[in-house]
Amino acid sequence: MGRRYFSLPDVGEGLTEAEVLEWLVAPGDRVAVNQPVVEVETAKSAVELPCPFAGVVSALLVEQGSVVAVGTPLIAVDEEGDGDGEPSDDAPMLVGHGSRERPPARRRRRKPPGDAPAPR
């Protein structure tokens, strides 16, 4: 069995911390990939965070009501096989993981014919 740690991801919009509102699991619970395990609140919203791996919860590392920085380990999960605590390359992408190489393309607005301003 390997122990893996799930840390508070960057939940977006440059936020650097979040408050742990409620744990949705307890030590000894079995979790599946993408199962919500904790609800956190940032300055902008409250969200449920899914676990990126499956296994048995071995420890909740942060108490409810605590404000923690992005990157702080939240939960420890024991999984079968060889785990080194780091997400594997085939782990599903979660909110805030990875980076966008370029901004999304915007479509140009087309003016319908006949909406052109009248010449002066």
pLDDT of 45: 86
The residue segments making up the domain with residue 26 are 2-79
pLDDT of 93: 45
Task: Show the low-confidence residues of the chain (pLDDT under 70).
Answer: 1, 80-120
> Is 18 within a domain?
yes
> Is 85 within a domain?
no
> Is 92 within a domain?
no
> Is 50 within a domain?
yes
- In the chain, how many domains are there? 1
State the DSSP string of 3-14: EEEEE----STT
Question: Which CATH number is 54's domain given?
Answer: 2.40.50.100
> Is 42 within a domain?
yes
> Is 98 within a domain?
no
What is the value of pTM for the model shown? 0.65
> Is 112 within a domain?
no
How many CB atoms within 10 Å of residue 111? Answer: 7
Residues 6+ apart with CB under 8 A from 70: 7, 8, 9, 10, 11, 15, 16, 17, 18, 96
> Is 69 within a domain?
yes
